[in-house]
């Protein structure tokens, strides 16, 4: 992808477990965002972390950002079957305007 | 109203057809986007309109023609498409453009070109 790659490509866990997915990107960024996409539908914005922030929380979501390593992680705690979806990180390069998406992680939460 | 509405949800067209995809938002957003997404791939940016002016065209073939009639509406006109253009077409909007704005997405149009 133009900017980010995610790891793992696919993740399968039991309901109640935590899910961690990672995003690596190539250039300096303004901010990094995470989106969720249910199968064949539009994307939903989850959380935005700015380049001067290191960690952010929203409900069961925790996002970290390490600009020195050009990487971010998304942690979903106490997963539910409804969390089954694809998760994409997205970044805007410093000095640029457009949001480019990473390759995505397909999460399956087994009830 | 925090929705971006796309119509139609599904579209099947032949290679000689002309069709249009429509997108509407009433959040007062001044930037609107078209993304194309193939199965199991990330969305790829096609066009950006900012304040009703085309700001970005990511080297998209001329068989795709965007139009922004007003600040709430965005169209994508399709003509002489190829089977490889079959994909999910996503419209999005944001309050402004630049600096990494949060995007609001519609649910997409699943396009099949026969």
Give the pair of three-digit tokens for residue A53.
Answer: 């922030």
d(CA B84, CA A42): 21
Q: Give me the residues of chain B with pLDDT under 70, please.
A: 1-2, 99
Quote the percentage of chain A above a pLDDT of 70.
97
A contacts of B106 (beta carbons < 8 Å)? 42
**Predicted local distance difference test score (pLDDT) of residue A3:** 66
| Residue A106 in this model has a pLDDT that exceeds 90 | yes
d(CA A37, CA A70): 23
* Residues B3-31 pLDDT 10s: 999 999 999 999 889 999 999 999 999 99
* Residues A26-63 pLDDT 10s: 988 889 999 999 987 899 999 999 999 999 999 999 99
Chain A residue with Cα closest to B97: A97
Contact A98 B88 (CB under 8 A): no
**Predicted local distance difference test score (pLDDT) of residue B65:** 95
**Predicted local distance difference test score (pLDDT) of residue B1:** 63
Contact A97 B56 (CB under 8 A): yes
Contact B100 A92 (CB under 8 A): yes
* Count of alpha carbons within 13 angstroms of residue A85, beta-carbon side: 18
To the nearest whole Å, the CA of B79 is away from the closest chain A CA by 24
**Predicted local distance difference test score (pLDDT) of residue B114:** 93
Task: Report the first-to-last Cα separation within chain B, whole angstroms.
Answer: 36
């Amino acid at each position: 992808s133009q900017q980010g790659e995610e790891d793992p490509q696919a993740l399968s866990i039991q309901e109640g477990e935590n899910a961690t997915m990672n995003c690596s990107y190539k250039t300096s960024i303004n901010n990094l965002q995470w989106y969720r996409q249910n199968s064949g539908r539009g994307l939903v914005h989850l959380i935005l972390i700015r380049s001067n922030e290191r960690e952010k929380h929203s409900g069961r979501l925790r996002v970290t950002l390490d600009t020195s390593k050009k990487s971010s992680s998304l942690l979903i705690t106490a997963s539910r079957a409804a969390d089954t979806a694809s998760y994409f990180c997205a970044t805007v390069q410093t000095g640029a305007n457009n949001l480019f998406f990473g390759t995505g992680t397909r999460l399956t939460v087994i009830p | 109203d925090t929705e971006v509405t796309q119509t139609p949800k599904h579209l099947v067209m032949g290679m000689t057809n002309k069709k249009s995809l429509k997108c509407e938002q009433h959040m007062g957003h001044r930037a609107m986007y078209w993304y194309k997404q193939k199965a199991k791939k990330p969305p790829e940016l096609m066009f950006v309109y900012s304040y009703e002016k085309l700001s970005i065209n990511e080297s998209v073939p001329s068989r795709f023609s965007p139009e922004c009639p007003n600040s709430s509406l965005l169209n994508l006109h399709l003509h002489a498409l190829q089977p490889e253009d079959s994909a999910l077409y996503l419209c999005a909007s944001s309050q402004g453009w630049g600096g990494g704005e949060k995007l609001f997405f519609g649910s997409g149009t699943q396009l099949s070109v026969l």
